[in-house]
Amino acid sequence: MQRFMRYGGIAASVILIAFGVGALYSGIDGRNYVRDSLAAEKIVGTPDSSIPGQTVDTGAEAKAFAQVMRKHALQATGGQTYAEMDRFLAKDGGTTNDEKLAAVNDKGAPVDNPARNIWVTQTALSNALNMSYFAEQVALFSLVMGVALVLSGVGFGIVAIWLMAGRRQAEAEAKAPRHETVAA
């Protein structure tokens, strides 16, 4: 038990450092994966975006582009979101939620409102871009935690070694023969 107590601090230090290095690796790998995946899509900021003409290859740029996509979708749908739109095209050219008033295709089925498809597509693409932003933020958190774990492990190791050295010195002093001086 005594031996375990002596070396437990060193073991804990090594484990903290190992987890820290693992977190650092995960953070770097995650950040690179996000950036490589975004770059592979060859997305370029539109002239009306906050990143005009710039390749979207970071999480922050992906988030900015997702915001532009939302703006474009709102323009295309007359300012309506998916939940605000009627489900079908109406016979009179408008839109409706009533299947009886809906225009029908050649198979007799109500014709879906195509503006809703704009929202479905926009939502899927912007969610993917926003997920890239989130993933890059998680990678950054992993990097910060990795540094914190490595520093904690090193600090813990220093304290453990210092305490072990102090204990060994105290044990050595206790075992050393004492010379008594006699006062004359």
Q: Encode pLDDT of 7-63 as tens digits.
A: 888 999 999 999 999 999 999 999 999 999 999 999 999 999 999 999 999 999 999
Q: What is the mean pLDDT of residues 76-93?
A: 94
pTM confidence score = 0.79
The pLDDT score that the predictor gives to residue 93 is 87
From 150, 112, 118, select the one nearest 18 (Cα to Cα): 150
Task: Tokens for 138, please give them.
Answer: 């998680």
Give bridge partners of residue 55 from the DSSP assignment.
Answer: 44
Q: Encode pLDDT of 115-167 as tens digits.
A: 999 999 999 999 999 999 999 999 999 999 999 999 999 999 998 888 888 77
* Placement of tokens 């009627």 in the chain: 86
Domain residue limits, the chain: 2-175
Residue 111 has pLDDT above 90, yes or no: yes
DSSP per-residue codes, the chain: -HHHHHHHHHHHHHHHHHHHHHHHHHHHHHHHHHHHHHHHHT-B--TTSSSTT-B--SHHHHHHHHHHHHHHHHHHTTT--GGGS-SEEBTTSSEES-GGGB-B-TTSPBPB-HHHHHHHHHHHHHHHHHHHHHHHHHHHHHHHHHHHHHHHHHHHHHHHHHHHHHHHHHHHHHHSPPPPPPP-
Q: Encode pLDDT of 56-84 as tens digits.
A: 999 999 999 999 999 999 999 999 999 99
